[in-house]
Chain A
Amino acid sequence: MDNRKLRFHWKANAFAWLLLLPSLLFLFLFTFYPIAQTVKLSLFQADLATAVPVFLGFDNYANLIGDEVFWKVMSNNLWFAIGTVPTSIVLAILMAIYCNKALRGTSLVRISFFYPTMIPMIAVANVWLFIYTPQYGLLSRLMKSIGQGDINWLGSPQYVMWAMVIMVVWKEAGYFMIFFLAGLQNIPPDLYESAQVDGVGRWTVFRKITFPLLMPTTLFVSIVALTNSFKLVDHIMIMTKGGPNNASNLLLYYIYESAFSFWDQGMASTLTVVMIGVLLLFAALNFFGLDKKIHYR
């Protein structure tokens, strides 16, 4: 009897592991092995000048602390996050609330908000490069027609980040709208009915019912938006190459530059480790702070 049970367990275990095997193989090959390699390589000097990587210990990290561009990139990314995350979330909530109502023409409205999500960032970059171009660009023509001076949005360090933030908010708000639409569908309608019976104003309804019940979605979307603000870099390739003077450079693009333009593998690895750290921090926020409220509700 015991023997049979044991054999059964063995078979069930083997079957489960066989089912997992293909996924696990790719998971190890392209997530865990690369992470381990990065951590290791970040302790070495490995650039074009050194044929065989030289062990440095934590020198790469020390160099990073002294690297002006690194701090510039980190502060850029911080501002990029501050610019994009709250704005796109507020817009997304507004969009969702209005799109959730069965108004005429809503489907066209929903399409116009959501379509930027479907377009590759590289195409978005082409369109917005055209919009931001001095003299010929749409924005430039608009400003001229109302008698304002021309601004080279992408060419001036003080404006370039604004230009990027506006573009990314345009691209992302509609995506987050979907999550809020899903959140709104989960709010029981009788709450609104009883509020209506009591004659509660619309703003109060939003403040006391809608917003608190959307809170889990808001927290979740903030984490996604925060993560995205570190991951979105395709546009930099087309629009600015990180310039002018690193004013639009972001962490992931700096990794790309270090690895594939400067061929400084040690530094690229060190930066990747920093990036992994940042993402794990966001994930930790999600798990320890918010996850309980969001999942399994």
Chain B
Amino acid sequence: MLLKKLKISRWLLYACAALWLVPLLWMTVTAFRPREIALSPAFSLEFTLDNFARVWSAAPFAQYYINTIIIVVCVFAVQMLTATMAAFAFARLEFMAKNVVFMLFLVQIMIPADVLIFPNYNVLKELFLLDTKLGIMLPYFASAFGIFLLRQMFKTIPPELDEAAEIEGYSKWTILWKIYFPLSRPTYVAFGLVSVSYHWNNFLWPLIVTNSVENRPLTVGLAIFAQSFEIGAQWTEVSAATLLVIAPLLIGFLLFQRQFMNSFIHSGIK
């Protein structure tokens, strides 16, 4: 009786998983179908790469790719630097107004940049940074989330290590980069995954900030491409373009899914 029940629930699980895959599969199939027959209900085995070729030549996706990669890499590099420094201060140093400053960072978690699109747009305008890649990146250079995550990690490192290093004549700054930084690699990986996927996928802010092809990331490019069709849209092309945009993260996720899941589960991301 129990065995039978288990089997049913297992099949239910598989069915549910299959259901979850339907949108991706359908889009993938559509992206490879010839334009003329994509919408016909008849079954056939004709597949083509034409859609991708047309998409690639119809919009500057190569430029969008470069823009997104630059944004993602720079944001994470700067975040790593700023968050590591701040996290060390919170985890290992005693200083005036520590708790107050910590609370200030909490506010950023509660009120994320997504919500402040309008006032932040005004700030960028005052800085003359509208329609620049730097403008897209700037609001994310300090990450309270990264600071909290790294602070948790740094706190697990035994302080005896600091003392030993100090006797060796290391300065605090050297201890930070020679001991804490390398020991926290798994946390950086987890934070990197979150940061990269967030900024690869970010849309509203870059949409508001950018006007030109030179600075537009993939998401905004995709939206403009998809909207450029009339009603009765060219679904094959939109599917191909969508696939182009999501492919890198999706492939990366498939390759590293086990590590990815584990680092997610164990990094204490909440």
The verdict on B93 contacting chain A, using a C-beta distance below 8 Å, is yes
Residues 170-221 (chain B) with a chain A CB within 8 angstroms: 172, 197, 200-204, 207-208, 219
B116 and A120 form a contact (CB under 8 A) = no
The verdict on A27 contacting chain B, using a C-beta distance below 8 Å, is yes
Q: A231: nearest residue on chain B (CB-CB)?
A: B114
- Would A20 and B89 be within 8 Å (CB), given that A26-B82, A38-B119 are in contact? yes
What is the size category of the interface that chain A forms with chain B? 35 or more
- Would A255 and B117 be within 8 Å (CB), given that A23-B86, A23-B147, A178-B265 are in contact? yes
The verdict on A55 contacting chain B, using a C-beta distance below 8 Å, is no
B138 and A19 form a contact (CB under 8 A) = no
B250 and A118 form a contact (CB under 8 A) = yes
**A114 contacts which chain B residues (CB < 8 A)?**
253, 257, 261
CB distance from A114 to the nearest CB of B (A): 8
Docked CA distance A20–B112 (Å):
19
The verdict on A248 contacting chain B, using a C-beta distance below 8 Å, is no
B39 and A112 form a contact (CB under 8 A) = no
The verdict on B83 contacting chain A, using a C-beta distance below 8 Å, is yes
- Would A120 and B245 be within 8 Å (CB), given that A111-B254, A279-B110 are in contact? yes
The verdict on B10 contacting chain A, using a C-beta distance below 8 Å, is yes
Residues 99-113 (chain B) with a chain A CB within 8 angstroms: 101, 104-105, 107-108, 110-113
B204 and A280 form a contact (CB under 8 A) = no
A27 and B105 form a contact (CB under 8 A) = yes
**B258 contacts which chain A residues (CB < 8 A)?**
107
The verdict on A220 contacting chain B, using a C-beta distance below 8 Å, is yes
Q: A167: nearest residue on chain B (CB-CB)?
A: B23
- Would A23 and B82 be within 8 Å (CB), given that A107-B257, A252-B114 are in contact? yes
The verdict on A58 contacting chain B, using a C-beta distance below 8 Å, is no
B142 and A17 form a contact (CB under 8 A) = no
The verdict on A34 contacting chain B, using a C-beta distance below 8 Å, is yes
A283 and B147 form a contact (CB under 8 A) = no
Residues 19-47 (chain B) with a chain A CB within 8 angstroms: 20-24, 26-27, 30, 39, 41
The verdict on B95 contacting chain A, using a C-beta distance below 8 Å, is yes
A260 and B208 form a contact (CB under 8 A) = yes
**B98 contacts which chain A residues (CB < 8 A)?**
16
CB distance from A10 to the nearest CB of B (A): 10
CB distance from B20 to the nearest CB of A (A): 5
Residues 125-184 (chain B) with a chain A CB within 8 angstroms: 138-139, 141-142, 144, 147, 172
- Would A252 and B115 be within 8 Å (CB), given that A111-B257, A119-B250 are in contact? yes
CB distance from A218 to the nearest CB of B (A): 12
The verdict on A84 contacting chain B, using a C-beta distance below 8 Å, is no
**A115 contacts which chain B residues (CB < 8 A)?**
20, 24, 250, 253
A30 and B254 form a contact (CB under 8 A) = no
A138 and B253 form a contact (CB under 8 A) = no
A-B contact count (CB 8 A): 242
Quick one: which of A122, A138, A279 contacts B203, CB cutoff 8 A?
A122
Quick one: which of B88, B123, B245 contacts A34, CB cutoff 8 A?
B123
With a 10 A CB-CB cut-off, give which of A118, A124, A141, A174 has the most chain B CB atoms. A118
CB distance from B40 to the nearest CB of A (A): 10
B242 and A256 form a contact (CB under 8 A) = no
A178 and B261 form a contact (CB under 8 A) = yes
Docked CA distance A34–B127 (Å):
13
**A123 contacts which chain B residues (CB < 8 A)?**
219, 222, 242, 245-246
Give me 14 other A-B pairs in contact (C-beta within 8 A), A20-B86, A121-B203, A126-B241 excluded. Answer: A15-B93, A16-B98, A22-B141, A23-B105, A31-B116, A98-B9, A120-B246, A130-B26, A130-B27, A170-B20, A182-B265, A255-B118, A265-B118, A280-B111
Give chain B's interface residues, CB within 8 Å of chain A.
9-10, 13-14, 16-18, 20-24, 26-27, 30, 39, 41, 81-83, 85-86, 88-89, 93-96, 98, 101, 104-105, 107-108, 110-123, 138-139, 141-142, 144, 147, 172, 197, 200-204, 207-208, 219, 222-223, 226-227, 235, 238-239, 241-242, 245-246, 249-250, 253-254, 257-258, 261, 264-266, 268-270
Give chain A's interface residues, CB within 8 Å of chain B.
12-13, 15-17, 19-20, 22-27, 29-35, 37-38, 41, 95, 98, 103, 105, 107-124, 126-128, 130-131, 133, 136, 138, 141, 170, 174, 178-179, 181-182, 185, 220, 231, 233-234, 237-238, 252, 255-256, 259-260, 265, 268-269, 272, 275-276, 279-280, 282-283, 294
A-B contact pairs, 26 of them (CB 8 A): A12-B95, A15-B93, A16-B95, A19-B93, A23-B85, A24-B86, A26-B138, A27-B105, A30-B113, A33-B123, A98-B10, A112-B18, A115-B250, A119-B246, A120-B222, A123-B219, A130-B27, A130-B235, A130-B239, A234-B219, A237-B223, A252-B115, A259-B117, A265-B118, A276-B111, A280-B111
